[in-house]
Amino acid sequence: MATKTDVSDAIQVPESTNGQSNPPFDEISVSLSFRKYSGERVLHTDLGLSVQDIRDIYRNMLLQRRFEERSAQMYGKQKIAGFLHLYIGQEAISTGSAYALKPGLDTVITAYRDHGLALAFGMSTNECMAELFGKVGGCSQGKGGSMHFFSREKGMYGGHGIVGAHIPLATGIAFAHKYRGDGGVCVCYLGDGAVWQGAFHESLNLAALYGLPAVYVIENNQYAMGTSVDRAAAEPDLFKQGISYAMPGALADGMDVFSVCQAMRDHIAMAREGQPSLLEIRTYRYRGHSMSDPGKYRTKEELDTKKNEDPILQLKSYVLEYGLMDNDELDELDADVKAEVIHSVTFADNSPPPPLEAIYEHVYTQGDYPFIE
Amino acid sequence: MATKTDVSDAIQVPESTNGQSNPPFDEISVSLSFRKYSGERVLHTDLGLSVQDIRDIYRNMLLQRRFEERSAQMYGKQKIAGFLHLYIGQEAISTGSAYALKPGLDTVITAYRDHGLALAFGMSTNECMAELFGKVGGCSQGKGGSMHFFSREKGMYGGHGIVGAHIPLATGIAFAHKYRGDGGVCVCYLGDGAVWQGAFHESLNLAALYGLPAVYVIENNQYAMGTSVDRAAAEPDLFKQGISYAMPGALADGMDVFSVCQAMRDHIAMAREGQPSLLEIRTYRYRGHSMSDPGKYRTKEELDTKKNEDPILQLKSYVLEYGLMDNDELDELDADVKAEVIHSVTFADNSPPPPLEAIYEHVYTQGDYPFIE
Amino acid sequence: MAQLQLREAIRAAMVEEMERDESIFLMGEEVAEYNGAYKVSEGMRDRFGDRRVIDTPISENGFAGLGLGASMSGLRPIIEFMTWNFAFVAMDQIVNNAAKIRYMSGGQFSFPIVFRGPNGAAGQLAATHNTSVESLYSCFPGLKVISISNPDDAKGLLKSAIRDNDPVVFLESEYMYGMRGEVSDDADYTIPIGKARIGREGDRVTIVGHNKSYWRAMEAAEMLAADGIEAEVVDPRTIRPFDWETVIRSVKKTNRCVVVDESNPFASVASEVAFQLQSRAFDWLDAPVARITAKDTPAPYAKNLMAYYLPSAEEVYRACRDVLYLT
Amino acid sequence: MAQLQLREAIRAAMVEEMERDESIFLMGEEVAEYNGAYKVSEGMRDRFGDRRVIDTPISENGFAGLGLGASMSGLRPIIEFMTWNFAFVAMDQIVNNAAKIRYMSGGQFSFPIVFRGPNGAAGQLAATHNTSVESLYSCFPGLKVISISNPDDAKGLLKSAIRDNDPVVFLESEYMYGMRGEVSDDADYTIPIGKARIGREGDRVTIVGHNKSYWRAMEAAEMLAADGIEAEVVDPRTIRPFDWETVIRSVKKTNRCVVVDESNPFASVASEVAFQLQSRAFDWLDAPVARITAKDTPAPYAKNLMAYYLPSAEEVYRACRDVLYLT
Ligand SMILES: Cc1ncc(C[n+]2csc(CCOP(=O)(O)OP(=O)(O)O)c2C)c(N)n1
Ligand SMILES: Cc1ncc(C[n+]2csc(CCOP(=O)(O)OP(=O)(O)O)c2C)c(N)n1
Ligand SMILES: [Mg+2]
Ligand SMILES: [Mg+2]
């Protein structure tokens, strides 16, 4: 398959300024190869997924979608405040990953666009919705909000609001897996915009140098706020970033859950052997960056084209094509998801706000804060 | 010529975990080529250098050497305090560069190991020695010391003590050249250790994105304090770092002034056309990192081998071989350099220390500091 | 005079100065095509083009340093941080390079640069997005720090900051971008850096507050007025250099002082005001200098906690009554 | 008790704790093969191996964050900064991640980590290599900040810091690494975080000083003693949480206070001490709290300027006489 970088895109350099006939230099040639995972090449049976697995996968992706649609509505009703960054369009990545990791052992960490990952990794709609509502029943007890979903129990090391700042944390979580020898892997999700933070560069070098069980996943949804990848990246093929750290790089299709799952499995397997890697997954976010962004930086055509690749619709077609579920089953599942989401809204509504004294809780492990002064 | 990275060092990745016979991915192949500048391939005439130029080059390299030997002695006498990082062994880089840049137009900036560059770019031994002595006659009026030689007049934007922190400055100086359209180029020298600061990554991307007239020169002297390159860099071929920014990368021989000069000319020419680049120059520092470092992290054999490649001795052999100077001329030049350095010590000794009121000078451009309160 | 939003006043200052001086450019995340995350730079790219209004990747350390390098070369960059919370990754560039290179070079290189963006609380955004940075930068000699509370000051002080030859940290506020006010439209309207403004005259207690805290001070003064107590409200406007003279003069009249400061309390601007007052007006103080700051915790997300976290007019009012021994 | 250099006391604390608890590791630039830039970790790599004593590239932001991630996972990292000047590039990790994630996660993740290294002036190294950072970190709730002045405190407090479940900023001093003193060799010798130490008792004036400044305070107290004036010297040892009780008790006895602080003055620890004293001991203060700090400039290189830059015992002595109205 021909790709932009298929054969050779050696950077052009001008002729030497030297007047000699023989150039005053030798050439050092380097050939590299990267994998490009295509969903079209993978069936669910290739991945060892049962029909029940596919149902669960479909349900989970739909759950993320409906949860976020509902939270957007609740934002409109001012039940939710602050920033609300929706993951809609990217669900194949969170769910596809969940089917590649070992629950209870492996760990994940991401940026602020974290609802999808949280729901894919087993956090409940209740605790997530309550967190958005800023209630004690929230996963972070109402202290974190949309950008800061955490669950120690599920190995979800958080959503993080400072772009790039969680990448070193991921490196340290992977370090801890290795130090303990527990066999676990840490997957670090980051946006295409986060690549341009120095923290990315420092972390990848450290991970490669120490042979840490980490997978760095760039969720390339084409934009960082209003900035498209080619306006931020001198080299828009982000999977090539690994070269600087002698780290394998690969590309997967984020609109196809099988592509994601296959690529993640390979990369997690590498990580488990002590080889960290970089995986670029190309995806798209259908909504604005946050609730206040009208998304004027892209054309309607672009959006429409991408909507045709909707990972949920794609999986639905697959499911129907291979007869894994029929329309009735799909409708039932839809209703079930809807009910769960509505229930989470009720739960969040009924959960009390934190008491004012809670403001001093969780600052320190030490219990007597504010310290007696 | 065979080099370590000659043909292909594609990173090894394990077999896919997928059970299919056909792999679930395509291969994206990328071939890259880098120049490796060898001094052996270049004669001074190829570079258009006259015999007088060669004398000047030789003298300048020797001047750096003797200046630093003397300053080490003065450090022992406690005329100089703080850190003193000697450039001894790296002189071909500073001098070779000086013959590639346009004086009065192009600009340079470096880290704290800055004496060599200062002397190569026309700063006087007097102002440099006086700075080391902390006297008003110093290039920075005694405020900066060894790590902070500056000369606006010579386009020397300073020695800088925080590792990596001057790389963004270089990017901005290059930005200013472009913004003004003055045709100038900024050369940023940095150590092999500075590559692992996030500032490096951010700067190179910005320079490539904006097409800035910058050359980033890694003076790879094999060590960052006691840490050898392979203990700090997951990918020790530092010239490959450019790939992440679609930036040409090349390698030059820092023990050979002609190799440096040729490579710098090519890269500066690129920069002048708006193509920034990365040039790794392999060199060696003969002394410890600073005066307090006994350098135990390397063997005597290694040091001896490298001393055989001494850039000054190499040039001396060349000069004799091609009959550009005879031994008498070389001796004379030696004496002349020695006299200049001794004179600078006298100058520095006689220059007064700054008056105490000077402590409040240069904090702000505003004259009345400490502001009347 | 024109009625402008605070964001428009900031924009007007930038536009007027950029028209005047070709060496000024604006750089930051989303400042150009997107017209600014908070629409401060709306229309500026259309007006000045890509050469002078420049979008960046999310590389604060890189582009803060780029700005500094450009300013060393004699350009006059305006660097926008989307918010000051994101400048911690660029802190080294600001406190080491901006603040110290002029000194280390014996005065050879200057840094005519403005770093600007919103500072402090911005709503239910949780802990990393609500930091107040004024004390952190003000302790570095070499920097100037301005924090504005209204459109007119914003314009006059930003113009001064842009014209100044030293690096200026310019602190705005998301909350206040939409605030309207009368703004001078004199193209040479500048407000001197380092001069406080008396927002309201009074003789019983001095309230010092900058940025949003100024408005808490004014509200408290209203409440006190209802009790028949006239408070004097001082907006320092510049934090470094601080206009001690004006504050001390006021306290020598009122003999009491309450400082409102949205920062966490320890080693804050409020601490420094207390130090200076007890040092220079010791015999005039009839009560200790009091301070109302954010609670000494990270900023929480939940609505009720966040409201409790920030200084309120009610707290300021009570502190004023306390120092008047009216409780 | 053993006679140890300060560097040895720090090493002893690390070694003993690492023997006790396998989850502790040491990471930083040159800590392993090179045995430490200042030889603090000498021999530790030989003792614990590469797994637990780990050299890093010059990537402070990266490895500070790596340490934080490891501590979130339950390990107990000790992260050495070669000096605190180099931690500005890692400031975001410390003030956003270390200080705030526990809060934002509703207490789910803790950060049992120590960031340590020398702070403040270290000789003729010029402006970027002489910064005092205590006030910068102390204003962040979520962090604890310790600054030590002698080998015994270094050992006892570092052991407490390593055992503490919250992130600790631990400030040492290049100048003092060679200082010798008696150090407890009890393997469980810890000094509680947040407790000041009275270095010398007296009743005429209280001098507060931490780290090197403590020694300037003690020298000044000697000079005052020669005048027949007994000064009380308090070493706070912990900056956050600060032991206000001890300082206030002392000042209620002496009625006067001079703070010695090597930082630049604005919004420094000295400012905070003044705020607290005038707030909590207003009626006991017979004179304003005075402070002797570094000059309000970047640190210069020249020997004479650098000597002038730093607080001197002579200045402290004169300030004490001033607050005693003996001038
Ligand atoms: C250091 C930092 N700079 C700027 C921001 C403001 N900001 C928040 S999200 C964002 C865009 C990030 O884009 P990307 O990494 O592609 O993630 P996406 O939103 O596409 O998921 C920006 C600039 C921030 N939070 N942190
Ligand atoms: C950010 C930062 N971290 C650490 C240091 C301490 N330090 C000074 S020089 C140095 C080694 C730098 O090595 P390299 O970049 O290879 O330059 P070289 O000394 O070889 O010229 C280190 C770690 C520093 N000055 N700044
Ligand atoms: Mg994106
Ligand atoms: Mg080196």
Does the pLDDT at position B180 exceed 50? Answer: yes
Q: Of the candidates B144, B170, B209, which has its C-beta nearest C104's C-beta?
A: B144
Helix ranges restricted to H, B159-310: 166-180, 198-210, 229-232, 257-272, 300-307
Rounded to whole angstroms, the Cα distance separating C266 from C253 reads 28
Rounded to whole angstroms, the Cα distance separating C132 from C294 reads 9
Q: What is the pLDDT of residues B54-109, one digit of tens each?
A: 999 999 999 999 999 999 999 999 999 999 999 999 999 999 999 999 999 999 99
**In which band, very low, low, confident or very high, does the pLDDT at B41 lie, cut at 50, 70 and 90?**
confident
Give the CATH number of domain D197-323.
3.40.50.920
pLDDT for the residue B367: 81
Q: Whose CA is nearest to atom 11 of ligand 2?
A: B224
Residue D243 in contact with residue D196, Cβ under 8 Å?
yes
- DSSP one-letter code for D140: S
Pairing assessment for the beta strands D53-55 and D114-118 based on DSSP bridges? unpaired
Considering C8, C16, C29, C60, which one is annotated as catalytic? C60
Ligand lying nearest the CA atom of residue A226: 1
Does the pLDDT at position B1 exceed 80? Answer: no
Amino acid at A88: I
**Predicted TM-score (pTM) above 0.95:** yes
Question: Closest residue of B to C168, CA-based?
Answer: B364
Q: Tell me the average pLDDT of chain D.
A: 98
Distance from CA of A134 to the nearest CA of C (A): 4
The pair phi, psi for residue C189, each rounded to 5°, is -75, 110
B371 contacts on C by Cβ (under 8 Å): 194, 241
Residue C292 in contact with residue C258, Cβ under 8 Å?
yes
Ligand lying nearest the CA atom of residue B223: 4
Q: Where are the domains of chain D?
A: 2-183, 197-323
Does the pLDDT at position A40 exceed 90? Answer: no
**In which band, very low, low, confident or very high, does the pLDDT at B21 lie, cut at 50, 70 and 90?**
low
A145 contacts on C by Cβ (under 8 Å): 124-126, 301
Q: Which residues line ligand 2 (CB under 6 A)?
A: B 111, 113, 161-163, 191-194, 221, 223-225, 289; D 29, 58, 60, 82, 86, 89
pLDDT for the residue C325: 97
Ligand 2 center from residue D171 Cα (angstroms): 21
Low-confidence ranges of chain D (pLDDT < 70): none
pLDDT for the residue B223: 98
Rounded to whole angstroms, the Cα distance separating C40 from C118 reads 10
Q: Tell me the average pLDDT of chain A.
A: 94
pLDDT for the residue D327: 77
Does the pLDDT at position B9 exceed 60? Answer: no
Distance from CA of D16 to the nearest CA of C (A): 33
Helix ranges restricted to H, C58-171: 60-72, 91-92, 99-104, 134-138, 151-163
Rounded to whole angstroms, the Cα distance separating C7 from A242 reads 41
Considering D8, D16, D29, D60, which one is annotated as catalytic? D60
C-alpha distances in angstroms, B348 versus B65, B344, B356, B358, C108?
A: 18, 6, 18, 18, 20
Give Cα C172 distance to the centre of its chain: 6
Helix ranges restricted to H, D185-288: 212-226, 244-254, 269-280
As a three-state string, the secondary structure of D270-319 is HHHHHHHHHHHCHHHCCCCCEEEECCCCCCCCCHHHHHHHCCCHHHHHHH
Residue C312 in contact with residue C216, Cβ under 8 Å?
yes
Does the pLDDT at position B17 exceed 90? Answer: no
Phi-psi region of A214 (alpha: psi -120 to 50; beta: other; left: phi over 0): beta
End-to-end CA distance of chain A: 69
B169 contacts on C by Cβ (under 8 Å): 65-66, 68-69, 72, 97
Does the pLDDT at position B15 exceed 90? Answer: no
Does the pLDDT at position B340 exceed 90? Answer: yes
Q: Whose CA is nearest to atom 8 of ligand 1?
A: A163
Q: What is the pLDDT of residues C197-237, one digit of tens each?
A: 999 999 999 999 999 999 999 999 999 999 999 999 999 99
Based on the residue annotation, tell me whether C129 is a catalytic residue of this protein: yes
Does the pLDDT at position A21 exceed 80? Answer: no
The subunits that touch chain B, with at least 3 C-beta pairs less than 8 Å apart, are A, C, D
List the beta strands (DSSP E) in B61-205.
107-109, 186-191
Does the pLDDT at position A9 exceed 70? Answer: no
Rounded to whole angstroms, the Cα distance separating D174 from B80 reads 19
Residue D274 in contact with residue D267, Cβ under 8 Å?
no
Chain D CB within 8 Å of residue C126 CB: yes
List for chain C the helix, strand, coil content (%; round to 5): 40, 20, 40
Beta bridge partners of B25: A37
Distance from CA of A156 to the nearest CA of C (A): 19
Cβ neighbours around B159 below 10 Å, total: 29
Ligand 1 center from residue B197 Cα (angstroms): 21
Does the pLDDT at position B2 exceed 50? Answer: no
Chain A CB within 8 Å of residue B6 CB: yes
Q: Report the percent of chain A where pLDDT is more than 70.
A: 94
C-alpha distances in angstroms, C5 versus C12, C17, C34, C237?
A: 10, 18, 19, 18
Question: Closest residue of C to A81, CA-based?
Answer: C124
Q: Of the candidates B142, B194, B227, which has its C-beta nearest D55's C-beta?
A: B227
Cβ neighbours around A103 below 10 Å, total: 10
Tokens 């007239």 -> residue: B213
Low-confidence ranges of chain C (pLDDT < 70): none
The subunits that touch chain C, with at least 3 C-beta pairs less than 8 Å apart, are A, B, D
C-alpha distances in angstroms, A161 versus B35, C31, C125?
A: 42, 20, 9
Q: Of the candidates C127, C136, C240, which has its C-beta nearest D103's C-beta?
A: C127
Does the pLDDT at position B12 exceed 80? Answer: no
Amino acid at C160: S
The reply to whether C197-323 shares the fold of C2-183 is yes
Does the pLDDT at position A15 exceed 70? Answer: no
Ligand 3 center from residue A191 Cα (angstroms): 5
Pairing assessment for the beta strands D257-261 and D290-293 based on DSSP bridges? parallel
Rg (CA), chain D: 19
Tokens 């080299």 -> residue: A235
Q: What is the pLDDT of residues A50-76, one digit of tens each?
A: 999 999 999 999 999 999 999 999 999
Q: Of the candidates D58, D298, D302, which has its C-beta nearest B142's C-beta?
A: D302
User: For B360, how many CA atoms within 13 A lie in the half-sphere containing its CB?
Assistant: 10
**In which band, very low, low, confident or very high, does the pLDDT at A7 lie, cut at 50, 70 and 90?**
very low
Residue C236 in contact with residue C192, Cβ under 8 Å?
no
Ligand 1 center from residue A192 Cα (angstroms): 9
- Average confidence (pLDDT) over A178-203: 98
Q: What is the pLDDT of residues C42-53, one digit of tens each?
A: 999 999 999 999
pLDDT for the residue B220: 98
| CATH of region D2-183, choose from 1.20.1440.230, 1.10.3720.10, 3.90.1200.10, 3.40.50.970 | 3.40.50.970
Give Cα D170 distance to the centre of its chain: 6
Ligand 2 center from residue A136 Cα (angstroms): 47
Q: Of the candidates C268, C282, C291, which has its C-beta nearest D288's C-beta?
A: C282
Residue C317 in contact with residue C224, Cβ under 8 Å?
yes
Based on the residue annotation, tell me whether C210 is a catalytic residue of this protein: no
Ligand 2 center from residue B225 Cα (angstroms): 7
- Average confidence (pLDDT) over A238-257: 98
Beta bridge partners of D236: none
Nearest to C68 by CA among A169, A325, D287, B166: B166
Chain D CB within 8 Å of residue C100 CB: yes
Ligand lying nearest the CA atom of residue D86: 2
**In which band, very low, low, confident or very high, does the pLDDT at A16 lie, cut at 50, 70 and 90?**
low
Q: Report the percent of chain D where pLDDT is more than 70.
A: 100
pLDDT for the residue D146: 98
Residue D284 in contact with residue D254, Cβ under 8 Å?
no
Rounded to whole angstroms, the Cα distance separating A187 from A264 reads 9
ipTM of the predicted structure? 0.97
Chain B CB within 8 Å of residue A136 CB: no
